[in-house]
Structure 1
Amino acid sequence: MSLIQRPIALLETRFFEGLALLVARLALAAQFWRSARTKVVDGTWLQIDPITFDLFRDEYHMPFPEVSGVLATYAEHGLSALVMLGLATRFGAAGLLVMTGVVQLFVYPDAFWNPHVLWFGLALVLIARGGGMFALDRAFDSIFKPKGTQS
């Protein structure tokens, strides 16, 4: 192999792809996890801070702030946990993609190039490729993958 082909061959391995998908999962999930943690009372797991409702009403201008605040907080926690663990990765990434779309359209419409386009890109890669070899999804591959396909 030439000096160029050898490094390229190393980059085309399942291990390297799995590592790249792990980093993509953690990068996307971390954004939403940190956001979720700002919406709960310090020292609790899911007790929603009353200021969250003010945020959804006054800054985000969301309808029904008591409902949308609760839904967003729980979705950010749950979906980012799924993506971090690589459990139902495509489902979790699709949920975070939808949340990013809502934030882009209704909350911060001027923030497309930074940071929303990055979140869209990470979510799309995870939807297309799955969680990779370092994801809990791998445990379910034999159950859900059609016979005759390769992993």
Structure 2
Amino acid sequence: MTLSAPDGRGFAQIFKSAAALLDRIPHDLIATISRLSIAAVFWQSGQTKVDGWQVTDNAVYLFQTEYKLPLVDPWLAAHLAAFAEHFFPLLLVLGLASRLSALALLAMTLVIETFVYPDAWPTHGTWAVCFLIIIARGPGRLSLDYLISRYFARKG
């Protein structure tokens, strides 16, 4: 006895049809959601390190006591992290230098995973997937990168 749907189709065909439907989700949508959602995560983290245009003493203190990155002065690390967590998310939202920005934040994520919170790999893995989508396939058509590449493609 074989299982079949009410209309007589087998479950294998139903799953094949469902997969074909899911294959139609556009990369542009996936890339845009990846860019915006991961940018928000890092922007919010950056906001915890600043008060106006100043890196807070608390942020420096965390780099001295909790984060303890090797080979990097805590003051410098706090300032670099605050800058990166604002600059690269802004570029991701705009879709400008998206692959470079995603690569920079992926590197930052790897540092966090390796030296700061090694047990947080499920969260960091989720972040990494967002970055890898952008790095591997690009930011999608809803980006300045796409518009710039179209402009230069027409010129060349």
Q: TM class by shorter-chain length?
A: 0.7 to 0.9
Q: Which residues in structure 2 correspond to 1:24-39 (within 5 Å)? A: 24-39=34-49
Asked if 2 retains the 8 angstrom alpha-carbon contact of 1:53 and 1:66, the reply is yes
Unaligned runs of 5+ in 2: 1-12
Shift of the 105–137 alpha-carbon distance from structure 1 to 2, 3 Å rule, reads: same
1:11, CA displacement in angstroms? Answer: 4.9
Structure 2: distance between partners of 1:124 and 1:6: 25
1:59 maps to which residue? 66
- Which string of whole-angstrom CA distances, capped at 9 and with x for unpartnered residues, describes residues 82-132 of structure 1? 11111111000000100000000000011112x000011111110011110
1:129 maps to which residue? 137
Alignment identity in percent?
39
Shift of the 59–10 alpha-carbon distance from structure 1 to 2, 3 Å rule, reads: closer
Asked if 1 retains the 8 angstrom alpha-carbon contact of 2:141 and 2:147, the reply is no
Amino acid at match of 2:124: H
Unaligned runs of 5+ in 1: none
Matching residue within 77, 85, 91 for 1:68: 77
1:95 maps to which residue? 104
TM-score (norm 2): 0.80
Please say which structure displays the higher CA radius of gyration: 2
Asked if 2 retains the 8 angstrom alpha-carbon contact of 1:11 and 1:17, the reply is no
TM-score (norm 1): 0.82
Structure 2: distance between partners of 1:142 and 1:61: 44
Is the partner of 2:111 in helix, strand or coil?
helix
What count of residue pairs does the alignment treat as equivalent?
A: 141
